[in-house]
Chains A and B, each alone.
Chain A
């Protein structure tokens, strides 16, 4: 499994150090929109310089290298146990090399053993698919943006949010308002309408696997995504909450069935340091293609 180990360490390195191109394009376009001479513009200039520096030095874009979440698609017969074992070795190796911060703490004792491996870390989702290839996607999601995620249960009387799309819009915009400053904006929202509490959050996070400039094939969700984006950017929250025109870079929404009794809207927030990459592996587990 040496080739797999090398491939996974390289996936972690690149995810931590290099912002995906679709995200970089969105940041550059927001830089153009901010007024010259404002602190919003200066913040985005520092962000852009940081992106270049991290890539050039092969160092983490952000020191909070985040929750380590792997999404794997593999054919029937794929050895999941061996894969998961190698994944954990790769995380430990990447931490030793400084691609990842020593970032995983025992919740009961407060001890950080410096390996980034423990119960729940890394998180590995493996799904079988009807293709002979193995693909591995990775998201590193920092704690600042994770902390501003929110889950609403509709109806919500305080926000005048009923069990309909307008109600969803109201709670999503409330989450944007509450997140201001704290989640390292401009941010990206991943949202799931419906599901149970756990799958709702999980599916909201999976929205971050989408390209930033894609469009939702469901026209109702597409309209809601565009509306939330435009409305959020009219709130004047701006980069870092300094005030300005760019509050969000993108909004991605999915829907899942719910129970008649439940109506959750689960919102995950991703910071501008949107670390997401993916690889396709050849039969010898070398990287055959980058997915973003």
Chain B
């Protein structure tokens, strides 16, 4: 088990390999379909928000206000990442992202960007909204809440020991590509 702390250095990211289980602590920004499309089309991040050496989490959390008016994340598992494939490589390059958390893996363009710019894809457990919400210790802020709605907003979250698995590393390896190839071969034998 490897412990990662944000901000992430390129060296820390390049030391990871497919199959490594990690615990991530520090700050992550949620960003999903609307945010990726917006940034791809030339939109700017709000003032005070920077992804440099940081982490984008493909997640649309459930966030409630407690009795004192503070935001509390009550459910926060990953969403399917492949929808961001048309945008992710560019965003990794332009915004200096070091890790993308999501589920289901990503494609060849993201794989290439991870290798070129020093980024990894961390696979969180899809559906594990409560285990992952417990790792969120604080909501530091939110942007685009009105513009995109709560699940699509950029939530800045402090996390402690967030569990994930490296499934795309910065060396050109992908667990998703490997399992697809082996399962296709297995199916061909079983048909």
Contacts and interface: CB of A to CB of B under 8 A. Distances in A.
Interface of A: 39, 42-43, 46-47, 49-50, 53-54, 57, 59-65, 98, 101-103, 105, 110-112, 114, 142-144, 147, 160, 170, 173, 177, 180-184, 231, 234-238, 240-243, 271-273
A28 B147 CA distance: 42
Interface in B165-190: 165, 167, 175-176, 178-180, 182-184, 186-187, 190
B21 interface: yes
Contact of B125 (A50, A170, A177, A183): A50
Interface of B: 19, 21, 34, 59-62, 64, 74-77, 79-80, 82, 103-105, 123, 125-131, 133-134, 148-152, 163, 165, 167, 175-176, 178-180, 182-184, 186-187, 190-191
A144 B103 contact: yes
B175 A243 contact: yes
A231 B187 CA distance: 8
A181 to B, nearest CB: 4
A243 B123 CA distance: 13
A231 to B, nearest CB: 5
B62 A60 contact: yes
A173 B190 CA distance: 10
A143 B180 CA distance: 22
Chain A binding surface, main DSSP class: loop
Nearest to A98: B64
Chain B binding surface, main DSSP class: mixed
A235 B163 contact: no
Contact of A62 (B19, B129, B148): B129
B167 A61 contact: no
Closest 5 CB pairs of A and B: A112-B149, A184-B126, A63-B75, A273-B127, A53-B130
A241 B121 CA distance: 14
A50 B60 CA distance: 17
A110 B131 contact: no
B127 A236 contact: no
A112 B191 contact: no
Contacts of A160: 191
A182 B78 CA distance: 11
A114 B125 contact: no
Contact of B77 (A62, A235, A238, A241): A62
A103 B129 CA distance: 15
A170 B188 CA distance: 10
Given A114-B149, A144-B104, A180 B179 contact: yes
